[in-house]
Amino acid sequence: MKKVKLNVLALSVIAFLVMITACKQDTLTAPSETQMHQNRLKCNHLKAPESLQTEEGLSLRANQAFVAPIILIPNGSSNLTDYQRQQVELGLENVRDWYQRELPNKDIRWEKIRYLQGNQTGAHYVVNNNVWSEIPGEIQAAFGWNPWQNNSGTNRIALVLGRDLLGWAGANTSANGNGLAIAGLESLIDLPQVSNEWWGTQEYWHGTVIHELGHALGLPGHHGIASSIMDAHGNYKNKHLTNKEKTIVEGNLATTTKGPVPIAHWDFDEDFKDQGNGNNDLTAKKGATQATGLIELAGSFDGVNDVAETASNRCNVSNKVTISAWVKPSSTSGSQTIVNKWYAKDSYSLGIKNGQFVFSVAFPGGTWGTAKSISIPAKANEWQHVIGVYDGEDDNTLTIYLDNITKPGSQSRQKIVQGGNLQSSTRPVAVGSHPSWNSFKGLIDKITIYNDEVSISQLSF
Ligand SMILES: [Zn+2]
């Protein structure tokens, strides 16, 4: 099985070299980053259909566009497990986070993940770059729109993530918010299969998808500006868009007004620092550490006293708050803190209590505050994405969402009489424990806090 797939890769590399003479051949052993890019990529930049390049095409200009992630399961390829689907969701969240970080004025509009059952095998798609000639028609047949056609005022950039495409990646764009970007999935979801490949890491997958999506959003690349993700794939965390590239992406119809900006974001990949605005770093205490997470690393907590805390009096909110976290608890019994600003005085909390995820907010009053909570069933030893939202301005609701992609409708919402500002608290924000009898045992990843009400579509695919 493995040998066959490696042969497919070899064929696709050969096809690439035949077709793209501009990219010179480099060895596959110990390449430099730029060399990796040239080997890995089939950045063909095929021209868009003529109709989209003409004045007539522009007269049909769409009103808006979206990036539409599509998971392609080629004929004969195995479907994704729930765990792999979660990895794709979180992987795409990382891609979205990167673009939100880079774009000061706009956010990309994302659609929910779609699944496409391919007509051809993975090997067939990548040989001779058949992806370009065949996938647009398959998208048209399955979903009723085509990444190269004007579609009733709404166009789409298809971001196709293909099973068994292995190291294949490429992208094309046209005016009018159309485009097609394609990348293999194995370096995100099946690391053992590709562990011997220089591109076989999750980090490289992220850099690749960010790069190819950049092409599909209209960016030229391979320009020698080393700080730009469009020059090469790897090390996406330390790569950026140039000012010119930002302007091009922000001018694409697939972007929209900037959404809420997190007041804190901890991904636990490198350390416990705030990857949001950088003002709310956590300090790991009492043995809190990192371990392998859904994507790269996660925070690991022992259920005894491990905790990570900000400085005092951080992450204050007023009449809206949204907290998102990915967690894998070892058990769901007792009381366990995921993240909170709670106890002397209470303000907000996301945790586990007696088999439920519980999102709580506190209003001024009493010794600690007056708490309101909402809950939804939790599972042990599985990764779950839990999101709590308090809106005390528009409709006074408390909502908790769970795994909203793989299980649509997993949410619980209640209207609460009281609205307005939550109780302010000088407490640090604590992750994994506080107080000690509320210690969490397991893994916590990718916590994001907004002092705003964030729509679920902005948080998940
Ligand atoms: Zn490229």
Distance 212 CA to ligand 1 centre (A): 6
Q: Is residue 171 pLDDT above 60, yes or no?
A: yes
Q: Provide Rg for the chain, Cα atoms.
A: 23
Percent of the chain with pLDDT over 70: 84
For residue 309, how far is its CA from the centre of ligand 1 (angstroms)? 40
**100 C-alpha to ligand 1 centroid (Å):** 20
- Output the CA 24–ligand 1 centroid distance in Å: 14
Output the CA 38–ligand 1 centroid distance in Å.
8
Rounded to whole angstroms, the Cα distance separating 369 from 366 reads: 5
**Per-residue tokens: 400:** 């908790």
CB within 8 A of 14, min separation 6: which ones?
none
Q: How far is the CA of 222 from the centre of ligand 1 (A)?
A: 6
| Average pLDDT score, the chain | 84
Q: Give the pLDDT confidence score for residue 217 in this predicted structure.
A: 95
pLDDT number for residue 438:
94
Whole-number Å distance between alpha carbons of 233 and 290: 26
Predicted pLDDT of residue 22 = 25
Interaxial angle between packed helices 202-216 and 82-102, expressed in degrees from 0 to 180 and rounded to the nearest 10: 60
CA 162 – ligand 1 centroid, Å: 18
How many angstroms does the Cα of residue 158 sit away from the middle of ligand 1?
A: 16
Kindly give the distance from the C-alpha atom of residue 264 to the centroid of ligand 1, in angstroms, as a whole number: 32
Say how many Å lie between the CA of residue 444 and the centre of ligand 1. Answer: 34
Q: What is the pLDDT of residue 24?
A: 23
Residue 223 CA, ligand 1 centroid: distance in Å: 9
What is the arithmetic mean of pLDDT over 136-154? 91
Note the pTM of the prediction, 2 decimals.
0.82
Distance of CA 420 from the midpoint of ligand 1 (Å): 49
Residues 254-268: what's their mean pLDDT? 91
What confidence score (pLDDT) does residue 418 get? 76
Architecture of domain 264-459: Sandwich (2.60)
- Output the pLDDT for position 35: 35
Domains of the chain by residue range: 2-257, 264-459
2-257 and 264-459 in the same fold: no
- Report the pLDDT value the prediction gives residue 60, as an integer from 0 to 100: 53
The rounded Å distance from CA 135 to ligand 1 centre is 19
Q: Quickly state the pLDDT bin for 227 (edges 50, 70, 90).
A: very high
- The lowest-confidence range among 117-121, 272-276, 303-307, 430-434 is 272-276
Please tell me the distance between residue 228's alpha carbon and the centre of ligand 1 in angstroms. 11
Distance 5 CA to ligand 1 centre (A): 23
Paired strand residues for 180 = 158, 172
φ/ψ region of 135 (left if φ > 0, alpha if ψ in -120 to 50, else beta) reads: alpha
For 2-257, the fitting CATH number among 3.30.160, 3.40.390, 3.40.50, 1.10.1060 is 3.40.390
CA of 257 to the centre of ligand 1 (A): 27
Q: How many angstroms does the Cα of residue 260 sit away from the middle of ligand 1?
A: 30
> Quick check: 180 and 216 in contact, CB under 8 A?
yes
| Residue 68: count of CB within 10 angstroms of its CB | 24
Distance from residue 234's CA to the centre of ligand 1 (Å): 12
Beta bridge partners, 301, equal: 442
Q: Taking Cα atoms as reference points, which of 233, 177, 244, 230 lies closest to residue 204?
A: 233
Q: Ligand 1 centroid to 216 CA: how many Å? A: 10
Do residues 187 and 197 lie in contact, with contact meaning Cβ atoms separated by under 8 Å? yes
Ligand 1 center–CA 126 separation, angstroms: 17
- CA 41 – ligand 1 centroid, Å: 6
pLDDT digits (tens, 9 = 90+) for 390-446: 999 988 999 888 875 445 556 676 777 678 999 999 999 999 999 888 999 999 999
- Report residue 278's pLDDT band, with 50, 70 and 90 as the boundaries: confident
Task: Report CA(83)–ligand 1 centroid distance (Å).
Answer: 29
CA of 241 to the centre of ligand 1 (A): 13
- Predicted confidence band at 237 (pLDDT cuts at 50, 70, 90)? confident
Tell me, in angstroms, the distance from the centre of ligand 1 to residue 417's CA: 53
Q: What's the token pair of residue 155?
A: 């166009």
Measured in Å, residue 124 CA sits from the centre of ligand 1 at 22
**C-alpha distance across the termini of the chain, in Å:** 32
Give the environment of ion ligand 1: residues with CB less than 5 A: 43, 221
Please give the distance, rounded to the nearest whole angstrom, from the Cα atom of residue 269 to the centre of ligand 1: 26
Instruction: Report CA torsion sign: 139, 141, 143, 147.
Output: positive
Answer for the pair 429, 310: CB distance below 8 angstroms, yes or no.
yes
Which range has the worst mean pLDDT, 53-67, 288-302, 349-363, 421-435? Answer: 53-67
Q: How far is the CA of 456 from the centre of ligand 1 (A)?
A: 32
> How many angstroms does the Cα of residue 221 sit away from the middle of ligand 1?
5
